[in-house]
């Protein structure tokens, strides 16, 4: 594998071992929701970024398999800032979210704005199937073929398209920040030697490498009950958490023994310590974006096997047809090799930060995430710029 010259920042939460004692100031305060998102067809720049006083640009990026993705760019901090080239940073969201998740807090607490104010050229992705990236060169979202993808395709097509576009536009290697599934797709791509010539360093927030010890009640129940496969068997290709299928799915999972959905956010992500109530409201209202049922199936497969592999199409023949050369699922453990390689990584190029009080969403929306995570992340990027 040999990624000895690659720079890594792993930011990991130990959710279950230590409970958070006390709340940072304002953790559960109220602030106004994002009013312009009621007419979100205008896009992130018009609805969210520009009203905060930042320059914002929008781009379209086409993947090799025909999906048309939207990207937003915040090229400089509020009020402009120093001239000259700025180091690009790409922000990749997690599953059932989109790039808005990096912008839900006020500017001094949202990573996209914090990075821009600290001298970076910030690029925000919106994954295929989400609100601003639902177009395809020949397919409609009503076509089941539109949703025939899992994170394999995100690693093979979306990530190379967006990273390559930023590299082409800026002429510079970029820093990468992934959250949740955004770390999984990056690990999958890096393990196959993709993108390492275009990325300077990677910061993985709550990195996903194994799901064997996943403890969220909804996640475990859904995975163990083969929920993704059941949806697929019913002919459902798109999973919209806020649609009719998503609602019925959630009701069914919440009715399972041992599953308590009284606090939906905690049931999904663990007990987040440091979220503003109105940010949670905004997340539940504006996020929870559609994804493919195949992605849910892929997560279920990973949970049950305890190791990350490519999507299992159901037989060795089907897998060989999809991936070529052999049954990738039984023979190739590239991500495991990458993780083994990281264990012996050069000490000055690999930093692991454990945040015991944080749960899954605190890293993206925590009111104190700038002090707890982002300041160190920015120092890491500056060191390797």
Count the neighbouring beta carbons within 10 Å of the beta carbon of residue 131. 19
Structure tokens at 286: 């504006």
- Residue among 27, 35, 29 nearest 52 (CA): 35
What whole-number distance in Å separates Cα of residue 281 and Cα of residue 35? 12
Task: Burial-class residue 225 by CB neighbours within 10 Å (0-12, 13-18, 19+).
Answer: middle
Q: Is 227 a catalytic residue?
A: no
Cβ atoms 30, 277 nearer than 8 A: yes
- Residue among 278, 282, 290 nearest 242 (CA): 290
Q: In this structure, what are the phi and psi dihedrals at residue 111, rounded to the nearest 5 degrees?
A: -60, -40
Q: Which of 180, 188, 191, 227 is catalytic?
A: 180
Q: Which of 179, 191, 360, 362 is catalytic?
A: 360
Name the residue with tokens 């059932």: 96
Cβ atoms 32, 43 nearer than 8 A: no
Structure tokens at 263: 């606090």
Q: Which of 65, 281, 327, 341 is catalytic?
A: 327
Name the residue with tokens 């073929």: 145
Q: Is 180 a catalytic residue?
A: yes
Could you list the active site residues? Answer: 180, 327, 360
């Amino acid at each position: 594998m040999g990624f000895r010259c690659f720079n890594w920042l792993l930011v990991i939460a130990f959710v279950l071992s230590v409970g958070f004692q006390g709340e940072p100031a304002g953790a559960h305060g109220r602030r106004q929701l994002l009013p312009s998102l009621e007419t979100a067809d205008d896009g992130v720049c018009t609805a969210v970024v520009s009203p905060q006083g930042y320059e914002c640009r929008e781009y379209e990026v086409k993947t090799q398999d025909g999906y048309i993705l939207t990207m937003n760019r915040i090229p400089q901090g509020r009020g402009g800032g120093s001239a000259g080239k700025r180091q690009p940073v790409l922000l990749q969201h997690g599953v059932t979210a989109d790039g808005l998740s990096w912008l839900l807090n006020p500017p001094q607490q949202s990573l996209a704005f914090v990075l821009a104010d600290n001298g970076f050229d910030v690029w925000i992705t919106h994954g295929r199937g989400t609100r601003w990236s639902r177009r395809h060169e020949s397919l409609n979202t009503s076509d089941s073929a539109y949703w025939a993808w899992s994170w394999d395709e995100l690693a093979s097509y979306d990530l190379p398209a967006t990273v390559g576009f930023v590299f082409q536009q800026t002429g510079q290697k970029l820093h990468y920040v992934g959250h949740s599934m955004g770390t999984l797709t990056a690990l999958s791509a890096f393990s196959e030697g993709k993108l390492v010539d275009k990325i300077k360093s990677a910061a993985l927030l709550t990195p996903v490498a194994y799901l064997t010890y996943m403890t969220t009640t909804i996640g475990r129940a859904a995975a163990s009950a083969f929920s993704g496969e059941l949806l697929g068997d019913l002919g459902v290709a798109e999973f919209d958490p806020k649609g009719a299928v998503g609602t019925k799915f959630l009701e069914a999972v919440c009715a399972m023994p041992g599953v308590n959905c009284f606090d939906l956010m905690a049931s999904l992500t663990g007990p987040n310590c440091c979220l503003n109530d109105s940010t949670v409201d905004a997340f539940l209202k504006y996020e929870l974006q559609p994804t493919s049922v195949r992605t849910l199936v892929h997560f279920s497969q990973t949970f049950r096997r305890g190791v990350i592999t490519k999507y299992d199409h159901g037989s060795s023949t089907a897998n060989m047809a999809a991936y070529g050369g052999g049954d990738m699922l039984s023979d190739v453990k590239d991500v495991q090799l990458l993780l083994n390689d990281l264990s012996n990584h050069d000490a000055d190029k690999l930093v692991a930060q454990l945040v015991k009080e944080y749960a899954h969403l605190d890293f993206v929306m925590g009111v104190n995430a700038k002090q707890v995570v982002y300041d160190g992340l920015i120092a890491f990027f500056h060191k390797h710029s």
